[in-house]
Chain A
Amino acid sequence: MFAAGYELNPITDYVWEISPSGGMRVPGRIYSSRKMIEKYLQTDESVKQVVNVAHLPGIQKYSLAMPDIHWGYGFPIGGVAATDIEEGVISPGGVGYDINCGVRLIRTQLNLDQTEKRLQKLIENLFQSIPTGVGSSGAIHKQSPKEIKKILQKGSSWAVENGFGEATDLQFTEENGCLSQANPEVVSPRAIERGQDQAGTLGSGNHFLEIQVVDQIFDEKAAEIFGLFSGQITVSIHTGSRGLGYQICDDYLKILVKAIPRYGISLPDRQLACAPIQSPEGRDYLGAMAAAANFAWNNRQIIMSLAHKSFVKTLNMNSRDLGFELVYDVCHNVAKIEEHQIGDVRKKVCVHRKGATRAFPPQSSQLPIRYQPVGQPVLVPGDMGRYSFVAVGTQQAMEDTFGSTCHGAGRVQSRHQAIKSGRGMDLIKELKQRGVIIQAKGMKTIAEEMPYAYKDVADVVDVMHHAGISGKVARLRPLAVIKG
């Protein structure tokens, strides 16, 4: 079949290949269903972006796209590309502006009956204690530039050392909440300035904190190992590195655009600005990006701790009975040096995941011992009116997608269209009828983020489940949501 002028050859019902042509170094591979390709990809620029990414020097095996693919800056959102660390490049467009935007899932020992009557109060208190919205600030004291540099170096452990959460939380965070390549010295003073009062803040747009209930279990064994059970109350946090990360991306795009001619790199789109990983520009970007990733992990760790305190206070419970514990924290905008099998050799590659989640298999040494029998929890948030999913990584993901899977629903309506679609509707009532309480800074955000503005995340998750990349474990239904 064809999409956006490109021929897609079916490999299976859920994997479609674009054969190399022109300067493409590898084929493109899109994970999707025939129905989703017909519905979403016919006129979208993202297919062309999959082809463009295939031109990157050092790219290995495939330029990949997940089923939530949509048009992004340089790379499509939902794009995955691994480049050889000796001969390949690193590209900020393959990470995105919100470096280490990610999701954290927290379980509790509460069930719906115990919580239902207190939900309104809970969400009000959470909204009070977690700064939310545009330019939100002041969750914790404004930090000095010196202290911000410590956060950039340490990631989540800075939060734990400063009383936000437990040391065990680190085990259940991807990379233990810290990328060791972080180099605060290559982060601009302006980026640090932007981070000074934003640690522990949620921000705006599609970022959220959600109280949910586990309403369906698909994989009993994995659910049990992840500590999830039917009717259980969970909390999800979706945010990233805030202004600090945006500034680092902005700073390095400018530097790397100028580096392209210096290294004789030929690209079909200048938004793919990149530099060899081993060049000074490439190494500096990797160090700065890792620093932003650490800021984001620290951010989600602080928010989790603030949410924990809010639960304890509102429900007047002790911590042990509440059982507010981290299931896992994943990032979905990052580039990381990982070892993968390429043909007959094991090779170190730089895996760019832009709007894609790591999905490592059972027995992976990167996982906490508790999860090794089943694999890595994969957290896939949906829109605020329907549901989110917990899935689990597989060996096939390691073989086919550099251990990567989807990251969310993806918009189908622009914000403008969403506002138009919601005109004349009582949006708060609409959500209430779906059983969702909402707290937001304004009606505009609610209108922009209504469920009809997004794809059904179940379609996205199902593609990766049937493709054998990440298996469904549980479905979480939203009960109360904070939006920026």
Chain B
Amino acid sequence: MGRYKQIDHTADIAVSVSGSNVEDLFQTASRAWRQIVMGNSEIAGVESQDFTLRSESLEELLVECLSELNYLLIVKHWIFQDYSNLHITRLSSDYKLTARISGEPLRKNKHRIELEIKAVTFHQMNIRKAMRHLETIIIFDI
């Protein structure tokens, strides 16, 4: 299972994420995002929906993915809990993510959004191999 750690950044929120493979990296990055915005709120996986994204690079795909989860929360008031059947595949000119995501509608009496993320940035993002895992830094503009 992947790991993440918040690192100090004066103005924004930075997190260092690692995973055993690309799916694990994305799953861990999504957990990190959820922890940052939702803190310790308990999220149930009572609803699920298809989740498909395409981008030209893995970094763009990761930014797209976290931006989409953020959009679902802020605009659709739906909180991501977890993935099932997460697959990231390389196509001839781009990358594709397919998954089913589970979560639940945001309820003011149960959940509390801890932090508003303005955007997921490309700042310092570079998915690279380190020993036997993949890692990157993600900076959230807040």
With A194-B74, A250-B119 as contacts: A72 and B11 at CB distance below 8 Å: yes
Q: In the complex the two chains form, what is the Cα distance from A193 to B122 in whole Å? A: 24
Q: In the complex the two chains form, what is the Cα distance from A447 to B77 in whole Å? A: 26
**In the complex, residue of chain B having the shortest beta-carbon distance to the beta carbon of A412:** B10
With A194-B75, A417-B8 as contacts: A205 and B122 at CB distance below 8 Å: no
**B107 CB–A CB distance under 8 Å:** no
**A229 CB–B CB distance under 8 Å:** no
**A70 CB–B CB distance under 8 Å:** yes
Q: Is the CB of B118 within 8 A of A414?
A: no
With beta carbons under 8 angstroms apart, the residue of B9, B37, B73, B75 that contacts A193 is B75
Q: In the complex the two chains form, what is the Cα distance from A246 to B140 in whole Å? A: 12
Q: Is the CB of B115 within 8 A of A411?
A: no
Q: In the complex, which residues of chain A have a beta carbon less than 8 angstroms from the beta carbon of B22?
A: none
Q: Is the CB of A134 within 8 A of B116?
A: yes
CB contacts under 8 Å to B, within A263-309, are: 270-271
Q: In the complex the two chains form, what is the Cα distance from A193 to B77 in whole Å? A: 13
Q: Is the CB of B115 within 8 A of A134?
A: yes
Q: In the complex, which residues of chain A have a beta carbon less than 8 angstroms from the beta carbon of B114?
A: 134, 442, 444
With beta carbons under 8 angstroms apart, the residue of A135, A250, A411 that contacts B10 is A411
**A234 CB–B CB distance under 8 Å:** no
Q: In the complex the two chains form, what is the Cα distance from A484 to B118 in whole Å? A: 14
**In the complex, residue of chain A having the shortest beta-carbon distance to the beta carbon of B8:** A414
Q: Is the CB of B75 within 8 A of A243?
A: yes
**In the complex, residue of chain B having the shortest beta-carbon distance to the beta carbon of A205:** B142
CB distance from A350 to the nearest CB of B (A): 22
Q: In the complex, which residues of chain A have a beta carbon less than 8 angstroms from the beta carbon of B113?
A: 133-135
Q: How many residues of B contact A (CB 8 A)?
A: 25
With A194-B75, A249-B119, A416-B6 as contacts: A442 and B112 at CB distance below 8 Å: yes
Q: In the complex the two chains form, what is the Cα distance from A97 to B122 in whole Å? A: 13
**A157 CB–B CB distance under 8 Å:** no
**In the complex, residue of chain A having the shortest beta-carbon distance to the beta carbon of B13:** A415
Q: In the complex, which residues of chain B have a beta carbon less than 8 angstroms from the beta carbon of A73?
A: 121, 123, 141
**A204 CB–B CB distance under 8 Å:** yes
Q: In the complex the two chains form, what is the Cα distance from A370 to B113 in whole Å? A: 44
**In the complex, residue of chain B having the shortest beta-carbon distance to the beta carbon of A195:** B75
The interface centre, meaning the residue of A190, A203, A414 with most chain B CB atoms within 10 A of its CB, is A414
**B48 CB–A CB distance under 8 Å:** no
Q: In the complex the two chains form, what is the Cα distance from A309 to B124 in whole Å? A: 46
**B71 CB–A CB distance under 8 Å:** yes
Q: Is the CB of B115 within 8 A of A204?
A: yes
**In the complex, residue of chain B having the shortest beta-carbon distance to the beta carbon of A355:** B11
**B67 CB–A CB distance under 8 Å:** yes
Q: Is the CB of A411 within 8 A of B11?
A: yes
Given A246-B118, A249-B119, 10 other A-B residues pairs in contact with their CB atoms under 8 A: A70-B11, A98-B118, A133-B113, A190-B75, A193-B75, A205-B142, A253-B122, A254-B60, A414-B9, A484-B116
CB-defined A-B contacts under 8 Å, sample of 20 = A70-B10, A71-B10, A73-B123, A97-B118, A97-B119, A97-B141, A98-B118, A134-B37, A134-B115, A135-B113, A194-B74, A204-B115, A243-B75, A250-B67, A254-B60, A270-B122, A271-B123, A414-B9, A414-B10, A442-B114
**Which residue numbers of A lie inside 8 Å of B, CB to CB?**
70-73, 77, 97-98, 133-135, 190, 193-194, 203-205, 243, 246, 249-250, 253-254, 257, 270-271, 411-417, 442, 444, 484
